[in-house]
Structures are given as C-alpha cells and as structure tokens.
Amino acid sequence: MPTGEFLPFSPPCIGEDEIAEVAATLRTDWITTGPKTKQFEREFADYLNAPGALALNSCTAGLHTALATLGIGPGDEVITTPMTFAATVNVIEQVGARPVLADVEPDTLNMDPARVEAAVTPRTRALIAVHYAGHPAELDALRATADRHGLALIEDAAHAIPARYRGRYIGSGDNPAAFSFYATKNMTTAEGGMLTGDPDFLDRARMISLHGMSRDAWKRYDQGGSWRYEIVYPGFKYNMTDVQAALGLWQLRRLAEFQRRRRAVVARYQAAFGVYDAFQLPVERPHVEHAWHLYVPRLRPEATDVTRDDLLAGLAARNIGASVHFIPIHLHPYYRDKYGYAPEDFPIAYDAFTRLLSLPLHPRLRDDDVERVIDAVLEVALPARARLPKAA
C-alpha cells in the first residue's frame, strides 16, 4: 500500500513574485510577444553573458529554428546522441535531414567526441550536442571536430541552465544553444524556450520563428508601427508570449536560490548511495559545473538482484514519483524501423538505459522528503547481500 503523501518527481517552484508579474502583465495591452518578452531576452542573455537571445515557445522550437536558419535539409546529415528525448532527433527529420547517432561516454552519458569524429561523412552538416541531465558535453573536442570538418555546432541545452563548461556558462558562445523552460526544468515559463547565439544569426532565426515575416508582430501593432510586412521565408509560429516571459523574469532571478537547493539534495543523495556497490552514481567532471536538472543513478546488476523496473515499482508503491531519462532514440519504433537499428548498435546507451532511473530533484524537496526517497531506494534496491558498504 502507498505510504505517505505523493512526492512528485519535479513540480514547478512558483512564488508570489511570479504570480504578481503575470497578473500585472495581464492588466496591460500586451499579453503575446511584446516588451516583457524583449526584457526577458535581454536579462537571459546578460545572465549567461551570451551575445544574444531569442525567446521561443519551446526548446524544440529553438532546435528546429536553428536547423532551418542554417539551411540544413534533404541530403544532409546531423550527428547527435541516442541518449536524449525524441525532440532532438525529430527536428532533424522535420527539416528533411538524416539523423546519425553516436554512442555516449560511460560516465556522463554525453555524446562521445571520438565516436562523433568517426561518424562524420561528406554529407554531415552539423552536430547537436546534448548536455545530458545538466552535465556539459565535451565542447572543446566537439568544437574541434566541427571546425575541422566545417560543421555547425548546435547545443541542446534543455537541461543545462545554469551549467558551466571551463568557467563559461552553457549558451555564452556564438553558436546556437537551445534552452527549455518546460514545467519540470530548473526554471520555467510553463512552456517556453530560448535560443542563444550570434546576433546576426538570431536576427534571421527571429524572422523564421514568426512566419518568416519581415518585421515583428508586436512592432506592427505598437504605437507608430506600420501595418506593412512581407513573407520572406515559409516560417513557423514559435514566438513566446509576454505572459510566459513574466514568469521567466522572476524564475531567472531566483535561479541561484534554486540551484543551491538542488546541489544540497544531490550532495545528500551522493553521500547516502555512494557507500554501496549496488549504485553507479552520476558524475561531475572537475572542469564543469553541473546544472543537476536530473539525478540519474544506475543499478549494478552484479551487486543487486533488483532491476530498474523493480525499483521504479517499489518507489511508486511508496508514493514517490520517479522516471526514466531516456528511452534511447534507436529503440523507438519510428527510428528503429526506418534505420534498421538493433538495441546493441549503441551498446553504452542501451546498457545505461536498462539500469538507470531519475529520482526526485527540485527546490521544493524538504530534508525529510530527501530522507524518505533515500530510505525507499535502499529498502527496495538492497537485499541483504547488497547492504554492506563498499570495501575501504
């Protein structure tokens, strides 16, 4: 039987400041893309020290817009990882290009630069690096491959606000980086995203993201604006609204507070699970700052008879929300059948998938909530022979 109130996996953390900002926005003449969205773009770019930012309605929109702005299409290949949500790869299909998967590193589960290099062909046009769970991918090596072969480097930073790579925030470079503000993310606008990068690139992306129009809609309807516009590209409807931006402004201001709590929860998990051989813990390499969007341990089958699915079921029975990130791309029927993948084609990603799960991680977790998760995991995952701590 379930014990205790349901402990959600990753609820949003919305305060009175966000609510007041949204209410104030609803009392203005601008509820769709307008001055609040522009303010959010400026503050987000300033936070990351990014050259520019474009607010959109999702990270998926950012990735799709980036590919379209780069002119990637039929006959082109884009290399990315199997260990990601399907949106990363769906957008490659949507522009008519072919996704090429490169297996991941065993510790970070980020795309392995050596395998990326081996996957490059004369048809390769771009790399999409995913910062899995909030741990930055090895950007120096990936950028070197991109430069060597004349490829675009796009970052799927859905998990990566506010991660740093070698002291610089993810998204601070000139190349396109797409962020997510979905309800479960480290900061949220309910739905929403941001694309950062070179200002000239973003000017073209802005046009493509709003129907391919030659001027912003909010400028057309502002005082003194002109009704005249031209369609110069068959674009998308991907703009963010001022209502969403109102949420984002205060979420950004609270991000440091959110991250302190996330890191405190992670430290308690690492200390509790790190003494047992049954768990392979997530890592944080010395030259990065992990965003800790997800906490993803893996079970070691040689040290416990309990499977990942057993553990998920045990947590559910105890009213604790947990999840799996992710089902690798090559296991989904569309990609499996179209490209003829077998599970073992990407053995590191497949092995990790069979053993990993994501535990609750969010700023609303109280200390007693964290202890409840730890106690439940240990109770379910550790039969008597696995309860001994690691040898010194």
pLDDT in tens, 29-45: 999 999 999 999 999 99
Looking at residue 301, its pLDDT comes to 95
Q: Give SS3 for 8.
A: coil
Distance in angstroms (rounded) separating the CA atoms of residues 190 and 185? 9
pLDDT digits (tens, 9 = 90+) for 138-166: 999 999 999 999 999 999 999 999 999 99
Q: Does residue 185 carry a catalytic annotation?
A: yes
Pull the structure tokens for residue 265.
Answer: 């929860």
pLDDT of residue 236: 97
Residue 150 neighbours by CB distance under 10 Å: 8
Q: Higher confidence at residue 392 or residue 90?
A: 90
Going by pLDDT thresholds of 50, 70 and 90, the confidence category of residue 309 is very high
Average pLDDT over the chain, rounded to an integer: 95
Return the pLDDT at 1.
45
Mean pLDDT (whole number) for 172-192: 98
Among 93-97, 144-148, 218-222, 334-338, where is mean pLDDT lowest? 218-222
- Residue 215: pLDDT band (50, 70, 90) is low
Q: Is the pLDDT of residue 297 over 60?
A: yes
The tens digit of pLDDT for each residue in 100-111 reads: 999 999 999 999
Given a cut of 90, whether residue 334 has pLDDT beyond it is yes
**Marked catalytic residue, from 36, 38, 185, 237:** 185
Beta pairing class for 77-80 and 152-156:
unpaired
Q: Which amino acid is at 234?
A: P
Name all domains of the chain by residue range, CATH numbers in brackets.
16-253 (3.40.640.10), 255-322+357-386 (3.90.1150.10)
Residue 226 has pLDDT above 60, yes or no: yes
